[in-house]
Amino acid sequence: MDLVIFVEQQAFMGKSKAPQIPDFRLSPRIDQVGVGDRISRITTRSIKSSSKLQGLKMILNMIDLTTLEGADTQGKVSQLCNKAKFLHGSNPDLPTVAAVCVYPNFVSQAKKALLGTNINVASVATAFPAGQSSLDVKISDTKLAVDNGADEVDMVISRGRFHQGEYNYVFDEIAAVKEACGSARLKVILETGELGALDKVRRASDIAIYAGADFIKTSTGKISPAATLPVTCVMLEAIRDYFYESGTMIGMKPAGGISNSKLALQYLMLVKETLGDAWLSNQWFRYGASSLANDVLMQIEKQRTGNYQSKDYFSKD
Q: Which residues are catalytic?
A: 154, 217, 253
Return contacts of 195-199, CB within 8 angstroms, 24+ apart: 195/159, 195/162, 197/30, 198/30, 198/32, 198/35, 198/230, 198/231, 198/234, 199/27, 199/29, 199/30
Angle of CA points 160, 200, 179, to nearest 5°: 60
Q: What are phi and psi of 252, to 5 degrees?
A: -135, 140
CA distance 303 to 297: 10
CA distance 287 to 272: 15
Residues 6+ apart with CB under 8 A from 239: 205, 209, 216, 249, 250, 251, 252, 275
**Would strands 152-156 and 99-102 be described as parallel, antiparallel, or unpaired?**
unpaired
- Which SS3 state, helix, strand or coil, does residue 164 take? coil
Residue 129: asked if its preceding bond is cis (omega within 30°), the reply is yes
Residue 301: exposure state from Cβ atoms within 10 A (0-12, 13-18, ≥19) = middle
Q: Which of 193, 200, 276 is nearest to 30 (CA)?
A: 200
Q: Is the CB of residue 295 less than 8 Å from the CB of residue 260?
A: yes
The length of the chain is: 317
